[in-house]
Amino acid sequence: MTTNGQDTQVDDSFHVFDTTLRDGAQREGINLTVADKLTIARHLDDFGVGFIEGGWPGANPRDTEFFARAQREITFRNAQLVAFGATRRAGGKAAEDPQVKALLDSGAPVITLVAKSHDRHVELALRTTLDENLEMVRDTVSHLREQGRRVFVDCEHFFDGYKANPGYAKAVVSAAYEAGADVVVLCDTNGGMLPAQIQAVVATVIADTGARLGIHAQDDTGCAVANTLAAVDAGATHVQCTANGYGERVGNANLFPVVAALELKYGRRVLPDGSLADMTRVSHAIAEVVNLTPSTHQPYVGVSAFAHKAGLHASAIKVDPDLYQHIDPELVGNTMRMLVSDMAGRASIELKGKELGIDLGGDRELVGRVVERVKERELKGYTYEAADASFELLLRAEAEGRARRYFRTESWRVIVEDRPDGTHANEAVVKLWAKGERILAAAEGNGPVNALDQALRVGLEKIYPQLAKLELIDYKVRILEGGHGTGSTTRVLISTGDGTGDWSTVGVADNIIAASWQALEDAYTYGLLRAGVEPTE
């Protein structure tokens, strides 16, 4: 395939077509600026998709600007830029249609035209005749081809349309293909199909029309990835996907599991060399740009995708990791993680130590001590599965014979007051010892934990200026042993970041404030350890 004059490693016989910037942007909660779109386009091009559908030029100024800037500012290495638009208006001429002209004006070398293929939609939504709709497809495709553009046609609601009137749905495919469309894409616009239906319809349409087909699946039945693969099984050679499955309603077929299945399960080369191993990073980077938390449980790329909890699994993984993973996580740039929990035993502690760069393999007695310590703490309500930093502090304390400490707590106090005027006051006082010095610090906050956090920071920053970079990024509370209500044990998990990474710590007490304090102590201790500061206490 030639893209902007350059040869790539991937050929034209199979298309990975990304529509994150058009269909993905329809997801509730996503609102992309032109700069966001340019950044995502760069990530997708680096990753190696063949086509990037950038939006609908002419439909809104943002998309028009994106096409102008993308062609000026991005040197595409792998992808071709695609403009999305509709067939010409009923009763007009494509050559005179302003919407069609805007597509040409975008300068995009490829244009995807959306066409109606469901008879009911033609009549109710488009309000024209079935024949005129076919003429709109023919005229628009021919005109764009005459202007030197490559054309793909998206048959909207194809599968519902095929159920209602298979003859007409196929007539739309033939009209598009015969007029010069390179690929006719069958769209499950409402997302209600299941793989067996998709496979049967795609196979029949290929047999009856001879057209080159693509698939566009929405995930409303939870089967978009499988539907996409079912179409490929039936002979489709063009798959439309979005990064992380973003899209209207539930979303679209997720690009990452689709390309991973094609490369790793089908043995079909669809990305440039080395790209697959970059998949986890690309997925997370795009999530950051659209400002959504990356899904922890996304296939292949989620942080939990290769995380093992059950003790049964852990002991087998020690024997051979492939016994409990369907692929080597490094193939997609992810890593195996052992979760430390009361379901786990010695094997998972050893594996976890290795992951942290602490080899415990030789020391059975030490591993036994750590297992005992974890069990004893988990019985009290601690959880180390979600508190890597607290676990590392525990492990290092056992391995090194003493806990790493940077400060000691003498006492603290926090007052929360609801005033008659409805406002709240939160005041904390902390008394600490660090480097032989007694520190007394006070602070206010918008809640009791925030007030304690501020007081701790105020008290320690003079001695440890490294703490200035630390920021609490998440705070979770869980009441254990339900059945006693507010008199129960409380577990607090805190995530803290320093701009280069983040870590989680845990605290448990019968008191939410005391539990929070413990988690804060661990969070600051780990932050100083990470910063390479020598323990002083």
CA 315 to chain centroid: 30
DSSP-derived letter for residue 73 is: H
- Is the Cβ–Cβ distance between 431 and 452 less than 8 Å? no
Query: Which residues between 199 and 258 bind a second copy (CB under 8 A)?
Result: 219-223, 225-227, 229-230, 233, 245, 248-251, 254, 257
- Is the Cβ–Cβ distance between 53 and 112 less than 8 Å? yes
Task: State which of residues 362, 401, 411, 499 lies at the interface with a second copy (CB under 8 A).
Answer: 411
> Which CB, 179 or 260, lies closer to a second copy?
260
Q: Is 424 in the site for a second copy (CB under 8 A)?
A: yes
> Which CB, 24 or 150, lies closer to a second copy?
24
Q: Is 7 in the site for a second copy (CB under 8 A)?
A: no
- Distance of closest approach, residue 217 Cβ to a second copy, in angstroms: 11
Q: Is 334 in the site for a second copy (CB under 8 A)?
A: no
Task: State which of residues 194, 331, 399, 442 lies at the interface with a second copy (CB under 8 A).
Answer: 194
Query: Which residues between 297 and 316 bind a second copy (CB under 8 A)?
Result: 297-300, 302, 304-310, 313, 315-316
Q: Is 93 in the site for a second copy (CB under 8 A)?
A: no
Give the sign of the dihedral formed by CA 194, CA 197, CA 203, CA 204: negative
Task: State which of residues 29, 267, 357, 436 lies at the interface with a second copy (CB under 8 A).
Answer: 29
Cα–Cα distances in Å, from 515 out to 286, 413, 452, 476, 478?
35, 14, 12, 11, 10
Q: Is 426 in the site for a second copy (CB under 8 A)?
A: yes
232 vs 343: CA distance, rounded Å? 41
> Which CB, 225 or 367, lies closer to a second copy?
225
Q: Is 261 in the site for a second copy (CB under 8 A)?
A: yes
Query: Which residues between 32 and 91 bind a second copy (CB under 8 A)?
Result: 33, 35-36, 39, 60
> Which CB, 110 or 289, lies closer to a second copy?
289
Q: Is 447 in the site for a second copy (CB under 8 A)?
A: yes
> Would you call 139 helix, strand, or coil by DSSP?
helix
Query: Which residues between 122 and 181 bind a second copy (CB under 8 A)?
Result: 124-125, 157
- Distance of closest approach, residue 1 Cβ to a second copy, in angstroms: 26
Site string for a second copy, 448-487 (x = CB under 8 A): xxx--x-----------------xxxxxxxxxxxxxxxxx
Q: Identify the bridge partners of residue 81 per DSSP, sorted by sequence position.
A: 52
Q: Is 385 in the site for a second copy (CB under 8 A)?
A: yes
Long-range contact pairs involving 459-467 (C-beta distance under 8 Å, separation at least 24): 459/430, 459/432, 460/406, 460/407, 460/432, 460/434, 460/524, 463/407, 463/434, 463/435, 463/437, 463/439, 464/406, 464/434, 464/528, 464/533, 466/527, 466/528, 466/531, 466/533, 467/524, 467/527, 467/528
- Is the Cβ–Cβ distance between 407 and 460 less than 8 Å? yes
